[in-house]
Structure 1
Amino acid sequence: MKRISMPSFVSMLALATGLFSSPSFAQQSPLTRHHVTDSVDIDLSDDWRVATRTQVVEFEEARKEMLDQAGVRPKVKPHEAVTFQAVRSMGSASITLGVTVMPGEASQSEVVGLSGQRIQQLVGVFEQQFRTVLASAGGSDVVFSRPALAPIGGKTAIAYSVAFRTPDGVVRSGVKYHVYMRNATVVMSTTAADTVPKSLRDAATAALRTVQLAER
């Protein structure tokens, strides 16, 4: 199996929530399919506000500044990644959904064969670099759950939850899925303040269930 490198820190979505506003919460809206790349599609209701290209660029610039400040040099170049972001709100509360698509690093068959120890080692690298970047920005209290293989989009992902305290003292948490395919590495995440209503968490979970992934 090829060495799986660190993905871009799309999990630092606390930076992104201020980049675009969101509509108020609503029920039972029709779904719109968003074609992220040839490898990824996701269906979202109109209650989700999808970031424009300009807003994504602003987020990428903010993320690069954080990485540079922390002295972290990801192997994936900006032009090699595609980022998709959306936010859903309920009053003053909101949850962010992110998808980053990068070059393929391993096949699904290789991932399915990973041992629990190897999965822990991989996520341990992500955790250490996440801690480095967050600490450099003034954040703290990082907690990663024990990772495990989990199904998503008809594929098998390395999944785990993350919680952390932002520089302004807000505790945020969410889930992350790393899907490795021959043609793409896809990292999907949700993040929100711990105080958000359960209905927003449920909406994000439902949105992730619509993801369609294609390995070629």
Structure 2
Amino acid sequence: MSDDPETARQIAELAKDERPLLVLDVDEVVLEFVQPFIGFLRSHGLDLKTDSFRLHGNVFDRDRNEALDDARVSTLIEDFFFVQADWQIAPAGAVETVASIAEKAEIVMLTAMPHQHRATRRMLLDRLGFPYPLVTTETAKGPAIRQLRGEHPRPVAFVDDIARNLVSVREAVADAHLFHLMAHKGLRALMPPLPDGITVVDDWHDAAPKIAAALGI
């Protein structure tokens, strides 16, 4: 089961499905995060300097040109989740591609965020055209996907923008097909090399046939 009891509870509530399983991260995968977060920061007199592949240490006060401390950046990310519906949109091709895969596979969205924001994110995803089950987690994603797969030995694919999440899934579900997708191309260019065994996809148009082949659909 998931290491997060609330995540485990959410997964236990899902209907049993034996079709191939596609698990999708949310931020930077089915929702843009970085560009909307930049807009949110600017509305507070702050800028994100994309000089390295991180948020902490790269958020600056525009007037003083000083980096905010990590605690303040974490607070801003939390504040952004409260107003996410005012800022976030879907990347090009995401709605249509996921809908086409959903005709033959189970889709579950797995987002790393505080559980208290689940209802807000649920409403936003529904409005944008992602009516698939949403699971939140505050711990590693690997155990959650092992629980999502269940006892049936069905194909599993997982799409995320963060390497540690992909590695976590590989450790928990050894035969999972792993895909890296990141909507914000500027920050993505600064990303360190990914571990072996992870397929990089440029966008949802590139991802569609590769995910379908991995799932055998």
Instruction: Say whether the fold is shared (TM-score over 0.5).
Output: no
**Normalized against structure 2, the TM-score is what?**
0.30
Higher helix share: 2
Which one has a bigger Cα radius of gyration? 2
- Higher fraction of strand: 1
Provide the TM-score with structure 1 as the length reference: 0.30
